[in-house]
Chains A and B, each alone.
Chain A
Amino acid sequence: MDEHVHDVSVASLLAKIDRGDPLLVLDVRNDEEFENWKIEGRRGVQFTHIPYFDFIEDEAAAMSKLPQQHGELIVVCAKGGSSAMVADLLRQSGVEAKNLDGGMVAYGEYLEPVRIPRAQSDPVGLEIWQINRRGKGCLSYVVACAGQAIVIDPSRNITVYEKLTDPAPLKIIAVLETHVHADHVSGGPELAARHHAAYVVSGGSEFDMKYSATALKDGNTLTLGDVQIRVLETPGHTPGSVCYLVADRYLISGDTLFTTSVGRPDLGGRTADWARSLFHTLRDKLSRLSPEVVVLPAHYAGASEIGANGIVSARLADLRHRLPEFSIDTEQAFIETMLRAVRTPPAAYADIIRTNLGSPAPDAAHITEWELGKNQCAAGTPH
């Protein structure tokens, strides 16, 4: 029998969850991994957690823990091996079960491109895709016009960016970063090299960047057909963070501004200094943009932030109203708030930064370990 009949892809599982199909996810990882990071969709997911080694130890006892009534049963583990074994055992006992192909590793690497709905005021030919790395909550962007494209903050699995068409394949002329990332290894250098495109990283110099990358300055403009992309220096999350304002309407905001929070300023050991910069970025720079600006961030924290149109975005005016960070009046109060919100940095962040600055990268399996779990780039709750 074709074994693939019993596999389900990440794309197909997420589509089922998003539609609200009745299903049960049987997660067979150990307790620690299950507690840290789970499958998430635009609607709630029903889980049962029975580690795979419980099936090895005593199959009947493990089976008896499964709920009697459930929808389609999908088994999930870290890489897809143990879940395939458990799904097999279940089918041998007459319980229909499918295996998530590639497990949580595939879930963490899956990229979903969604086209941003056009506005009437948009320049003719402007197209923007938000590429949603749903397992990690990372967002990257492709801005296209007249057959040319600029890619912003790409993940390292770059084929998704190369496959976008409008309607013909797009010519990638530049790859931009909003900052040096600490949560994922960038696909930028490889993508730029493959397409002989410019690679632009602002703030790389202060970190001793080893790639030959261009740094842009505040007010610089990139032109793509009839579309202007303006660079805004927005230090705070890192000293070199920038935002890109596309056609005076779409703010590709990196880790400076999210739809439910702001970027954490505590990953460099100089939290007070970086928080001071972030205060002025929010108050003196972003607050002066048009309230109608559409904020397109580099991360989100939960699937509830994905809108009905499939996009993670917010009107700037709504964020200024909604986010407490915008209503703190003084620099001192803002810094104190950020200092109270300092959290432990993610495990591999220093290794990831080094790789993104051009140090030799380890093998793919190693990078996969570094990148496991959701991003932790937003400022925490003050405590």
Chain B
Amino acid sequence: MKKLDVRGAKCPIPIVKAKKEIDQMQPGETLEVLSTDPGSMPDFRGWVQTSKIAILKEQRSEKDPGGQEVFVHVLERK
């Protein structure tokens, strides 16, 4: 699985970068995006509703060792 770390970045950066990655990937390949922006949760859900290239497989939030909340989005190339 590919990884994209956009912790610290604000919207629109997480989706702009995720779209660029997905564009380069083969169908069936997956990408894990790490973000610290709480707004990324509804935004990724909204994006994949109309996206022709991305499917959202999973979303979760977890704490990193420093106690910072991290939002994880797992995407698959259509």
Contact = CB atoms under 8 A, between A and B. Distances in A.
Interface residues on B, range: 10 to 19
B46 A30 contact: yes
A3 interface: no
Contacts of B28: none
Contacts, number: 50
Contact of B11 (A32, A57, A81): A81
B4 to A, nearest CB: 14
Nearest to A33: B42
A304 B13 CA distance: 37
A52 B11 contact: yes
B52 A56 contact: no
B58 interface: no
Interface residues of A, number: 18
Contacts of B46: 30-32, 51, 53
A30 B12 CA distance: 12
B12 A56 contact: yes
Contacts of A53: 12, 15, 43, 46-47, 50
Contact of B39 (A31, A56, A78): A78
B11 A78 contact: yes
Contacts of B11: 52, 77-79, 81-82
A181 to B, nearest CB: 23
Given A30-B43, A32-B42, A78-B39, A54 B50 contact: yes
Interface string B3-19: 00000001111011001
Contacts of A85: 12, 16
Contact of B10 (A32, A54, A79, A369): A79
A369 B12 contact: no
Given A30-B42, A32-B42, A369-B38, A56 B50 contact: no
A217 B55 CA distance: 61
A58 B38 CA distance: 24
Interface in B14-66: 15-16, 19, 38-39, 42-43, 45-47, 50-52
B12 A52 contact: yes
Q: Which of A31, A53, A77, A78 has the most CB of B within 10 A?
A: A53
A363 to B, nearest CB: 11
Interface in A70-106: 77-79, 81-82, 85
Contacts of B13: 81
B6 to A, nearest CB: 13
Nearest to A82: B12
A56 B16 contact: yes
A52 to B, nearest CB: 5
A52 B43 CA distance: 9
9 contacts: A31-B42, A31-B46, A32-B42, A51-B43, A53-B50, A54-B50, A57-B47, A85-B12, A85-B16
Interface of B: 10-13, 15-16, 19, 38-39, 42-43, 45-47, 50-52
Interface of A: 30-33, 51-54, 56-58, 77-79, 81-82, 85, 369
Question: Which 4 A-B pairs have CB atoms at the shortest separation, nearest pair first?
Answer: A53-B47, A82-B12, A30-B46, A30-B42
Given A32-B42, A56-B16, 16 more contacts: A30-B39, A30-B43, A31-B46, A33-B42, A51-B43, A51-B46, A51-B47, A53-B12, A54-B50, A56-B15, A56-B47, A57-B19, A57-B50, A58-B52, A78-B11, A81-B12
